[in-house]
Structure 1
Amino acid sequence: MMQNIWSITGRSIAVSSLALALAACQSMRGPEPVVKSDIPTDFSVQHSTGKSIAEQGYKDFFSSPQLVQVIDLALKNNRDMRTAILNIQKAEAQYNITENNRLPTLGSSVGFDRARSKSALTGQPVTGNVYSAGLAVTSYELDFWGRLESLKDAALDNYLSLQSTRDATQISLISQVAEAWLQYSYSNANLKLAEDTLKTQIQAYNLNKKRFDVGIDSEVPLRQAQISVETARADVGNYRTQVAQAQNALNLLVGQSVPTDLLPSNTIRSITNEKVFATGLSSDLLNNRPDIQQSAYTLSAAGANIGAAKAQLFPTISLTSSAGFGSSELSDLFKSGSFVWSVAPSLNLPIFDWGTRKANVKISKVNQEIALTSYEKTIQTAFKEVSDALATRANIDERLDAQRDLVSATNRTYQLSTARYRAGIDGYLTVLTAQKDAYTAEQSLLGLELTNLNNQIELYKTLGGGVKVYNTDQVYHQPSSSETEYSKK
């Protein structure tokens, strides 16, 4: 009869405790902070507000099949990408641990105790054995105040944050690879320009040497021509170095040596088939930029940590239980009547801890304010980056037209100066000045053409382009714990 009473009581305690835990578990994270990024409602520079180019997959945005293949190699082999993926795997394991912490831990045990004690009947010391075998639930915390739930939410947000970090790393890597690929192309273009200039200067030097040898000119024009030759030789060496360095930089980004057939053999004049670089709405940045998503998840995790810190202010109830067999004789261990069980709830009530728990709540609130400030700064930075790219885009065509006209004018001046020198009308210094102006103008044109292409890549990147592979791909952002909590209310 007594055994039945205890059995009923034990079940009642277990069932009641579980029901109370499920009913009482609640989040104590508090209201989410209001975000005040203080950015304009639209970009300050005139632009096309059609569907954002960030909605395009990188294989549809970039027009060169060679470049797309190089990007694919980089996404596969780049070490920063590998690190980002490994961090996601680590965060996933950590989230699984916090999820498991909310569940009872079940273990098995087999034990043997030998003890000496005084007999209650005879008063004489006796030695006895106790054999046991069974299952046990160790220290299962009843999550009344949502501490474990909050820790799980924070771990989930950290996991999602690292996924966004991985996407941001991909966007950055794609743009860096495209820019390095272009840099290799234009380093070769500058090298070719320098080599052509060196040939021209050698021809001019030979002409001046003949004029000097026959006594038409003094030695001054000859030495001036020699200076131009040596200057051109130095430029050739410099650009050969830049070509090698550009290839090294590209190899580092890709994570392996880029095959020769994937390197640009000619000067790249177009990086994309796009003619209109639409930005969409400024609010689209919140959805398209992974770094903004990452900051949002971090802010949400900070709110969850506040809930966990607040829960520490309240009593913690843990439950330890076991069930199995026990006997003083090993042969009787599994016989009828040897079944034993125990339930041991414990209460940890904070009374006085010198303000440690309250300080932890304050720290978690300050961390939330830091995360909020970082989130707002990320939004402002994203807006500024897009505006800067648009500012360059707004004037680049006019600058290119002006530079092309300048190249044409300086080349014509060089031709006229050379003809007048050979006719004996002007001195060689006029030719040198005209040649230097023409060379500098062509270098500047190459630099401006590279700036134009890099700006197209930069605009695509700053708008959040590069997460998708193809236009038809769909990008889904999993809601943070704060968004999930809000939807429950």
Structure 2
Amino acid sequence: MTKPILFLLAGTVLLSGCNLAPKYERPTGAVPVTLPQGGIYPTAPTDAVDVSRIGWRDFFLDDRLQRVIELGLANNRDLRIAAGNVLQARAQYRVQRSDLLPTVNASGTGTYTNNVFGAGGANGATGGSTDIEAYQATVGLSAFELDLFGRVRNLSRAAQEQVFASEEAQRSARISLIAEIANAWLTMAADSEQLRLSRGTLRTFEDTLRLTREQFRVGIGSELEVRQAETNYQGALNDIAVLETSIARDQNALNLLAGTTVPAALLPTDFGNAPMTRDALPGDISSEVLLRRPDVLQAEHQLIAENANIGAARAAFFPTISLTATLGTLSTSLSGLFKDGTYTYNASPGIGLPLFDFGRRQGNLDYARASQQVAVATYERAIQTAFREVADALAQRGRIDEQLRAQTNRAEAARVAARLSDARYRSGVDSFLTTLIQQRTAYAAEQQLVGTRLTQASNLVELYRSLGGGIEETTPVGAPAAP
């Protein structure tokens, strides 16, 4: 009795390979094959560690910074939003995927009918009533679409690719968060170092101001020298006030990124001389490494999803075949259910094709094609953006060591010049103006040195981020299990 249903399902299996989605081909040619080399760009030794393969726990060397990053990964609200988006996409995929299989329903009914008839007739029959009972149990499927042209499968594929895209978005948010926390922590360290420098310089300027005031009091110096010394002193006081405000704001930014109040023990108090990150240049790698960046992978999954949507829109031009079928048992007594001779079945295949929709299906197809073109451009832009970010980081990396070396030598020379000038002034050889100029020069050189050291550390963080740092750590912290 179920042969018609079986034949129809067999035909569905035979035609299930039909897929009207265009064949996916990854766009190429958006960026050069290799990353920039030669000239200002650094040449890494052949045995250099590929920074894109280093997990963040190995890349960041300071234990306090590592623990702040752990706080951020556990508490940052943006990361929680990204994780929630993954769960939403997975739930939507499960809903869409369920259309590939029929929904089977079971039901049972009982009917009780009382027929009443009156008295009369030739034979003198008297009135009465009759009770009729009917019981039925059925199991079946209702309006199940036979996916002959791949419409449902392509919609399911599109939903699956959106899951993958949301997972890559979560990884991208995670890598960006790690870099942002590191940069915020390093900025606070640099500001703390600048504050330490300003306070030390303030003491020097204070000594000079005290000396000039005493000389002016006894008639050796002039009021001009006092005012010049006071200018340096008040400038250092202003710098201290500005830096104290900056450090407070740095801490607020760090708390926001960490998603909680960072304990004081984990905050930097100075920049220190120990390296805070691994000084690793990427080895000889091609621009294909950019294809592993989460944001690029996210754009590619969205492109594949739009490809599948084209297949679904194309399938809408073909007939839609659905099947409603039930198998059950019917009896006049509850105890008679499921006995021989009580079984019933019903199969109702249906076919539908809109003849006039006034351009609705064509409009949906045109929209899907346009969305696919937008996705191609978005994917290519993601690669180009990634290429530029890596190229910029490499360009700065190529000269930052030379810049730091020059700035270190300049600061040392300025310190020596300020010390010698002060000694010559105190011995009456140089003018006071020369001493003030050398003190300001030494102070500015020290400030620039701290800024250059921050630039060097931030450049390594940016190189780590732009290359998709931590890509070996494929499981985000707190991520739910894959579907």
Fold in common (TM above 0.5):
yes
Deviations for 1:283-303, whole angstroms, at most 9, x for unmatched residues? 442443111111111111111
Deviations for 1:143-162, whole angstroms, at most 9, x for unmatched residues? 00011110111111111111
* CA distance, structure 2, for counterparts of residue 390 and residue 90 of structure 1: 38
Contact 2:33 2:288 in 1 (8 A): no
* CA distance, structure 2, for counterparts of residue 236 and residue 129 of structure 1: 95
Q: How does 1:165-176 map to 2 (within 5 A)?
A: 165-176=169-180
Which of 33, 37, 40 is residue 41 of structure 1 equivalent to? 33
Alignment partner, residue 4 of structure 1: none
Amino acid at match of 1:85: A
Q: CA deviation at 1:357?
A: 0.7
Alignment partner, residue 224 of structure 1: 228
Deviations for 1:90-140, whole angstroms, at most 9, x for unmatched residues? 21111111121111111223457899xxxxxxxxxxx99976442231211
Count residues in correspondence.
454
Q: 1:98 to 1:280 in 2, by over 3 A?
A: farther
Deviations for 1:217-242, whole angstroms, at most 9, x for unmatched residues? 22222122222222211111111111
* CA distance, structure 1, for counterparts of residue 401 and residue 462 of structure 2: 16
Which of 466, 472, 482 is residue 468 of structure 1 equivalent to? 472
TM-score, structure 2 length as denominator?
Answer: 0.87
* CA distance, structure 1, for counterparts of residue 365 and residue 342 of structure 2: 49
Q: CA deviation at 1:36?
A: 3.1
Alignment partner, residue 350 of structure 1: 354
After alignment, is 175-184 or 321-330 more displaced? 321-330
Q: 1:366 to 1:154 in 2, by over 3 A?
A: same
Q: CA deviation at 1:329?
A: 8.1
* CA distance, structure 2, for counterparts of residue 83 and residue 72 of structure 1: 17
Contact 1:130 1:326 in 2 (8 A): yes
Q: CA deviation at 1:327?
A: 6.3
Q: CA deviation at 1:441?
A: 1.0
Alignment partner, residue 444 of structure 1: 448
Q: How does 1:314-333 map to 2 (within 5 A)?
A: 314-326=318-330
Q: How does 1:58-457 map to 2 (within 5 A)?
A: 58-111=56-109, 132-271=136-275, 274-326=278-330, 338-457=342-461
Secondary structure of the equivalent of 1:401?
Answer: helix
* CA distance, structure 2, for counterparts of residue 174 and residue 271 of structure 1: 18
After alignment, is 433-442 or 443-452 more displaced? 433-442
Secondary structure of the equivalent of 2:198?
Answer: helix
Q: 1:236 to 1:46 in 2, by over 3 A?
A: closer
Deviations for 1:438-471, whole angstroms, at most 9, x for unmatched residues? 111111110000100111111111111123359x
Amino acid at match of 1:40: P
Alignment partner, residue 477 of structure 1: none
Q: 1:191 to 1:145 in 2, by over 3 A?
A: same
Contact 2:62 2:277 in 1 (8 A): no
Contact 1:182 1:268 in 2 (8 A): no
Q: 1:307 to 1:469 in 2, by over 3 A?
A: closer
Amino acid at match of 2:8: S
Contact 1:57 1:466 in 2 (8 A): yes
Q: 1:374 to 1:282 in 2, by over 3 A?
A: same
* CA distance, structure 2, for counterparts of residue 340 and residue 54 of structure 1: 65
Q: 1:250 to 1:373 in 2, by over 3 A?
A: same
- The alignment yields a C-alpha RMSD, in angstroms, of 2.7
Deviations for 1:55-89, whole angstroms, at most 9, x for unmatched residues? 12222222222222222222111112212122112
Contact 2:89 2:159 in 1 (8 A): yes
Q: CA deviation at 1:189?
A: 0.2
Secondary structure of the equivalent of 1:278?
Answer: coil
After alignment, is 287-296 or 16-25 more displaced? 287-296
Which of 9, 13, 23 is residue 22 of structure 1 equivalent to? 13
Q: CA deviation at 1:310?
A: 0.6
Q: 1:272 to 1:187 in 2, by over 3 A?
A: closer
* CA distance, structure 2, for counterparts of residue 276 and residue 105 of structure 1: 56
After alignment, is 214-223 or 179-188 more displaced? 214-223
Q: CA deviation at 1:279?
A: 4.0
Q: CA deviation at 1:200?
A: 1.3
Amino acid at match of 2:367: I
TM-score, structure 1 length as denominator?
Answer: 0.86
Amino acid at match of 2:33: T
Secondary structure of the equivalent of 2:344?
Answer: strand
Contact 2:21 2:310 in 1 (8 A): yes
Contact 2:60 2:277 in 1 (8 A): yes
Q: 1:270 to 1:152 in 2, by over 3 A?
A: farther
* CA distance, structure 2, for counterparts of residue 181 and residue 313 of structure 1: 58
Identity %: 37
Amino acid at match of 2:29: S
Amino acid at match of 2:93: Y
Contact 2:192 2:268 in 1 (8 A): no
* CA distance, structure 2, for counterparts of residue 34 and residue 186 of structure 1: 44
* CA distance, structure 2, for counterparts of residue 333 and residue 326 of structure 1: 6
Contact 1:325 1:340 in 2 (8 A): yes
* CA distance, structure 2, for counterparts of residue 29 and residue 49 of structure 1: 46
Contact 1:49 1:281 in 2 (8 A): no
Amino acid at match of 2:417: T
* CA distance, structure 2, for counterparts of residue 431 and residue 62 of structure 1: 42
Q: CA deviation at 1:309?
A: 0.6
Amino acid at match of 1:392: Q
**Structure 1: unaligned runs, 5 residues or longer:** 1-6, 116-126, 475-489
